[in-house]
Chains A and B, each alone.
Chain A
Amino acid sequence: MFGVRFRFSLLSLLLLPSSLLSAQTSPPAQTAVTQADVKSLQDAIHSAQMNADNAWMLVSAALVLLMTGPGLALFYGGLVRRKNILGTMMQSFAMMGLVTILWAIVGYSLAFAHGTSFIGGFEHVFLRGVSLAPNTDYAATIPEQTYMVYQLMFAIITPALITGAFAERMKFSAMAVFLSLWSLIVYSPMAHMVWGVGGLLNANGGRIPSLDFAGGTVVHVTSGISALVTAIYLGKRIGYPQTNMPPHSMVLSFIGACLLWVGWFGFNAGSALGSGPLATSAFVNTHFAAATAALGWTIAEWIHNGKPTALGAISGAVAGLVAITPASGFVQPFPALLIGLAAGVFCSFMVFKVKSWFGYDDSLDAFGVHGAGGTLGALLTGFFATRLINPAFGPGAATGAVDGHWGQILNQVAGVAIAWALSAAGTLVLLFLVDKTIGLRVSAEDESTGLDLSQHGEEGYDLNS
């Protein structure tokens, strides 16, 4: 086949008119550059940029799934008792399936179609019109299907984060219904308000322009607040806090947390929606904040308990990643270090002290890390955001307080307040409905047997086989 084609092209070369040959070898005349040439050059450049951006965005989408896929499942799985590991991992995995299906049917449309300032419409139901051409409302250099699947990965991890608050005591069926509905009632509207075209909090033209680069409010505040509400609604695990409930495998949690750290590069740097310098900025900030947050939590714990624990170090890193999420594409690297440090200290305080003061059983600290860290990060974004990194409000316009735009902090407060209110209200309504129909909590007997056997009929560890 190759030989035939080669001989054919050799033949056509010999048959070329001599005039054309001489035109190719001598320098082209000025007049030879036509409108068509410019157009084809522009097309080639555009196509090259699209391919470069698309490559990074597809990798980013895969990295964000990695955060739920093995990352969160292992992180949470290691933190529960051994009789609940499969039940816990299945909760994250179920989101990978259920939210995907809902996203295709209506979730993406409710988040990103044209609609009101609170929620998207039905324009993209069943992915109608979501093609391989870019949607210039969001990302002009990647296929809209890439944007859609990238955003889907965020929609998957957000409800999965909540599962940490009700670990070891919710029915699988109730969890599946509650979190599926949650992704439509809470996640899609919040994503629309912050990122959707015409959204209330959209930095680009919203009535209250708030800055949220990669989901500090959309992902972490919503999941964290819903986690707190769920933990309180559901009540404590039997025996909490008198009985010891230590993590059954710190090794699994350690691997999970490190996968989260790596996956977060897709989460934050991918939120640049392209492979340009803004992605680099978000990448560097993400990494920096994780490092100082691990340090901050570890030092706080060392002082508090006398020892620097592995669980403290990895929890701190996650807290820093949460806090830098809204800021990652708006701040300079040194403020990122500060945001991380603040998150490490603040979240450890929430987990060590505030949780026991109030006595709620946020089993794996979804509120203490995501709710607290997300809120802190969203507020600090208003302080540290600078036009030098991202002129989000137009060329030359001040973005955050460091640029002199102190009012941005108020916009951030409004964004956080709306996220708190929507999450708390939506979660309460859904919990009530599911509780009255399916029933939320496993029986006391099933709880002591463990979710693995009672909900799934299998065991994570069969040491006799």
Chain B
Amino acid sequence: MLKIEAIIQPSKLDAVKDALLEVGIEGMTILEARGHGRQKGHTEFYRGREYTVDLLPKVKIEMVVLDEMKEKAVNAIGSAARTGRIGDGKIFVSRVEEAIRIRNDERGETAL
């Protein structure tokens, strides 16, 4: 089992969600997040004063998938979220030790 975490532009959330459903990924968790990578924020002006806003609104999508789904999921997210401009976000993949369905205590891959 792998955990895929993708940090994307908020405006790309619907496209990414649809792409994931299309390749057969059914469960995901969405978090509203703020952060920056190399993009380093933007500037705003209020009554002539310049403010640097370095933490920008982002959306973080988390899901746990079977190992063989990794490439499909990563490709789906990447192609749906890409604009080609700085600030598109990142995807992280990590190994998951255990999954438990709270309702009936199912364990392992069947719990996904």
Contact = CB atoms under 8 A, between A and B. Distances in A.
Interface of A: 241, 244, 246-247, 301, 304-305, 307, 309, 311-312, 315, 348, 351-353, 356, 365
Interface string B23-52: 000000000000000000000111111111
A241 B48 CA distance: 13
Contacts of A365: 47
B47 A246 contact: no
B66 interface: no
A304 B51 contact: no
A365 B44 CA distance: 18
A351 B48 contact: yes
B53 interface: yes
B45 A307 contact: yes
A304 B46 CA distance: 12
A5 B51 CA distance: 75
Contacts of B49: 241, 356
B51 to A, nearest CB: 5
A315 B44 CA distance: 17
Contacts of A305: 45, 48, 50
B48 A244 contact: no
Contact of B51 (A246, A307, A312, A353): A246
* Interface core residue of B44, B45, B48 (most chain A CB under 10 Å): B48
Given A244-B53, A309-B46, 15 more contacts: A244-B52, A246-B44, A246-B46, A247-B46, A305-B45, A305-B48, A307-B45, A309-B45, A311-B46, A311-B47, A348-B48, A351-B47, A351-B48, A352-B48, A365-B47
A298 to B, nearest CB: 12
B101 to A, nearest CB: 27
Interface residues of B, number: 10
A312 B47 contact: yes
A301 B44 contact: no
B45 A244 contact: no
A319 to B, nearest CB: 11
A353 B50 CA distance: 13
Chain B contact residues, majority secondary structure: strand
Interface in B46-93: 46-53
A309 B50 CA distance: 12
7 contacts: A244-B53, A246-B53, A247-B46, A301-B45, A311-B47, A348-B48, A365-B47
Contacts of A304: 48
A312 B48 CA distance: 9
Contacts of B46: 246-247, 309, 311
B56 to A, nearest CB: 14
Contacts of A301: 45, 48
A352 B53 contact: no
B55 to A, nearest CB: 11
B59 to A, nearest CB: 17
A315 B46 CA distance: 11
A244 B47 contact: no
B43 to A, nearest CB: 9
A380 B55 CA distance: 46
A365 B52 CA distance: 21
Contacts of A356: 49
A246 B47 CA distance: 10
B41 to A, nearest CB: 11
B51 A352 contact: no
Contacts of A353: 48
A365 B53 CA distance: 22
Contacts of B52: 244
Contacts of B44: 246
A177 to B, nearest CB: 30
Nearest to B51: A244
B32 to A, nearest CB: 11
Nearest to B48: A352
Nearest to A369: B47
Nearest to A306: B45
Contacts of A351: 47-48
A305 B49 CA distance: 9
Contacts of B45: 301, 305, 307, 309
A315 B47 contact: yes
Closest 8 A/B residue pairs (Cβ): A352-B48, A244-B51, A305-B45, A351-B47, A246-B51, A246-B46, A311-B46, A309-B45
Contacts of A241: 49
A31 to B, nearest CB: 74
Interface in B10-29: none
A247 B49 CA distance: 12
A151 B98 CA distance: 73
Contacts of A352: 47-48
A244 B43 CA distance: 11
A348 B49 CA distance: 12
B68 to A, nearest CB: 40
